[in-house]
Each structure stands twice: as structure tokens, then as C-alpha cells.
Amino acid sequence: MRILVTGGCGYIGSTTARHLRRQGHEVVVIDDLSEGHQAAWDGAMHQLDLRDADAVQAFALKAGEFGGLIHFAARAYVGESVEQPLRYWRANLVPVLHLCEAFPGLPFVFSSTCATYGEPPNEDPLHEQLPLRPVNPYGATKAAAERLLQDRAVASQGSYVALRYFNAAGAEPDGSHGEAHDPENHLIPRAIQAVQGLLPGLTIFGNDWPTPDGTCVRDYIHVRDLARAHEAALVHLGQGGESVALNLGTGQGASVKEVVQAVEAVSGQTVPCEDGPRRPGDPSYLVANPRAAKEILGWEAQESDLLALVQTAWNWHSQHPQGYRS
């Protein structure tokens, strides 16, 4: 299949683009390099800003036929979205509209997020029938984009799969390719950077949550498992499958303290930690019920062991302490 991947120089997008190419697909990437890295993807790449409708239309006119589109490009910092909501609505919703207009009928796989659910109603794993009640602009922009795609599908103007990732983590096991954000706000790379002396320490936001060890629990899904899910979603749509929103997670939670222990076990060093206050809007427990993705896509996480996942991240960060600049 010839596949258009937006945000293909970013963390999950470049991992997926590489996976698709290994599987024999032809991949064309769009990225504006606002966050991504040229070095993360060495295939066909068009540098353009998806917020620019004319640029997207011009690209569509000359790009030729695609069998599917995977849209990763977005801004994804929750705190920043609270401070700059209009920037987030433009960055995360407008490109979806432009892509739908420029590629009528094209099967659309969308990077959504567990942040669309908002505060979980209880401590059960989250399933897709729950109402979407995002509590920050980031989650709201993603929920709105899902709605846009749903309306397009209902009008028979193109099918979609919205993939609601939980916490993406990990890297290629050989350390050749991994996560490089600036600033980095994900727990596993921050804990590793603290060990490497690149951060003064790791702040743990709250140790009095109603969880077994008092720290927040999240579902860490390996980025390589995410990559496989995107291919499965394209196959599903290519076979005329229904439009649907699906969780992508392992179904298992790990607390902040457990992640810190895993980084210490893998690195053989102590993570310098300090306790900080709870962050407003941080749910204590976010774990996926991944059953629907298994039923509909035949997909399930294969790399869900936390120690093994952290090992892959360690391999990447220890070989590339400055990310793609290393």
C-alpha cells in the first residue's frame, strides 16, 4: 500500500513509518519539523505545515494516489494546551479538516489519546463506550477531531480508525531509534535523563494518590506495538471495516515508583527523585481496556513487560544522550 504519514519525523510517526516500510509499504511523510527530526526518517519527506490549507491542497494535487493516511502531526503537551488553547485548536483540529478536504474518501487513521476520556469515573480500565469528557484543551482538540472524522464517515465521505493511545514508551531494542522531545515531559525518558545527569532530578507529582504506593498509575504501551496497530488499522479499513475508536494499551498499570525502580534496575543507578505536589487534572489511574482492538483489529500488545520496555528506552538514551543531535 502507498501510505501518507503526517508527523512522520516525530517519535511515534517515525517508528510507524519505519515499521510500514519494513512490511513492504511505500511511505510518504509530511512533517513541518516543528518538533520532529529530519534524522528520524530517511525516506520520502515533504516539509510543510498542515495548518496551511493551500500547501496541503497543492501537495494533494501533485502527490499521486494513496491507499491510506495516518495522521500523527499534532502538538501534544497538556500543560501548554491549558496556557495556549487557541494554538492547540489550530494545531490539532485544523490539519484534520485540511487533510479531509484535500483527500476526499481516503481511509484515515488518527492519533487520538486516552486524554479524550478526562477524569476516569472509577479505577476500572477504560473502555471505549465511556463518554468523552476531556479536562484539558489537548484532550478536547483530539475528541473534536474524532467527532469530525465520525461526521465524515456517517456522510459516507471516508472511513476512519481513531487510536486512543495510553502512554507511548520504548525504542528500537538496538538503540538506533527512539524518543527525542524538547522539552521531554514523559516519565521514562525523564527518569533516564535524571540518571544521566541531564536533569537535576525527577519530580514525582504526588505521593498520596489513592493507589497502592501513592503514585499515579499509567499504562505504558511500547511504541513498536503502536506501530503494528496502525498497520492493522489500515488493513481493517482497506478491507471495508467499520469506522471505530479503539484504545491502544496493555491493560496493565505501572505506578511512577515502579517505573523509577525499573529504570534503576536497568541502569544500575539511583534515580535522583524529589516529591512534588499533585498536578491539577492528573488522574490517579489511567489504564486501557484493550479488548476491542483485539476483537476488531486482531491486535494486542506484545512488548508489555515493563523492564524490557525500559531496557529499550535505556539503550536509545544511553547511545543518544542528545537525541538525534548525538
Ligand X SMILES: NC(=O)c1ccc[n+]([C@@H]2O[C@H](COP(=O)([O-])OP(=O)(O)OC[C@H]3O[C@@H](n4cnc5c(N)ncnc54)[C@H](O)[C@@H]3O)[C@@H](O)[C@H]2O)c1
Residue 318 DSSP SS3: helix
- Helix or strand holding residue 165 (H, E): strand 160-165
CB within 8 Å of 42: residues ≥ 6 apart: none
Minimum distance, C-beta of residue 203 to ligand X, in the bound complex (Å): 19
Overall size of the chain counted in residues? 326
Q: How far apart are CA 114 and CA 126, in angstroms?
A: 8
In terms of DSSP H, where are the helices of the chain? Answer: 11-22, 53-63, 78-83, 85-92, 94-102, 137-154, 187-195, 223-238, 256-267, 291-297, 306-319
If one asks whether residue 35 binds ligand X (CB under 6 A), the answer comes out as: yes
Residue choice 7, 118, 170, 206 for contact with ligand X (CB under 6 A): 7
Q: Which of 154/259 has CB closer to ligand X?
A: 259
Whether cis (ω within 30° of 0) applies to the bond prior to 183 is yes
If one asks whether residue 50 binds ligand X (CB under 6 A), the answer comes out as: yes
Residue choice 4, 5, 11, 209 for contact with ligand X (CB under 6 A): 11
Q: How far apart are CA 198 and CA 322, in angstroms?
A: 9
Which is catalytic among the residues 11, 88, 117, 138?
A: 138
If one asks whether residue 72 binds ligand X (CB under 6 A), the answer comes out as: yes
If one asks whether residue 44 binds ligand X (CB under 6 A), the answer comes out as: no
Q: Please say if 138 is a catalytic residue.
A: yes
Q: Which of residues 273-302 bind ligand X (CB under 6 A)?
A: none
Minimum distance, C-beta of residue 218 to ligand X, in the bound complex (Å): 9
Residue 84 DSSP SS3: coil
Residue choice 81, 111, 136, 193 for contact with ligand X (CB under 6 A): 111
If one asks whether residue 36 binds ligand X (CB under 6 A), the answer comes out as: yes
Minimum distance, C-beta of residue 204 to ligand X, in the bound complex (Å): 19
Minimum distance, C-beta of residue 194 to ligand X, in the bound complex (Å): 19
If one asks whether residue 73 binds ligand X (CB under 6 A), the answer comes out as: yes
What are the distances in angstroms from CA 106 to CA 20, 60, 120? 18, 11, 33
Minimum distance, C-beta of residue 214 to ligand X, in the bound complex (Å): 23
If one asks whether residue 303 binds ligand X (CB under 6 A), the answer comes out as: no
If one asks whether residue 323 binds ligand X (CB under 6 A), the answer comes out as: no
Q: What is the DSSP letter of 23?
A: T
Residue choice 59, 88, 160, 165 for contact with ligand X (CB under 6 A): 165
Q: How far apart are CA 203 and CA 95, in angstroms?
A: 34
Whether cis (ω within 30° of 0) applies to the bond prior to 85 is no
If one asks whether residue 145 binds ligand X (CB under 6 A), the answer comes out as: no
Q: What is the DSSP letter of 86?
A: H
Residues forming the site for ligand X (CB under 6 A): 6-7, 9-13, 30-36, 49-51, 72-74, 76, 91, 95, 111, 113, 165, 167-168, 181
Catalytic positions, written as ranges? 138
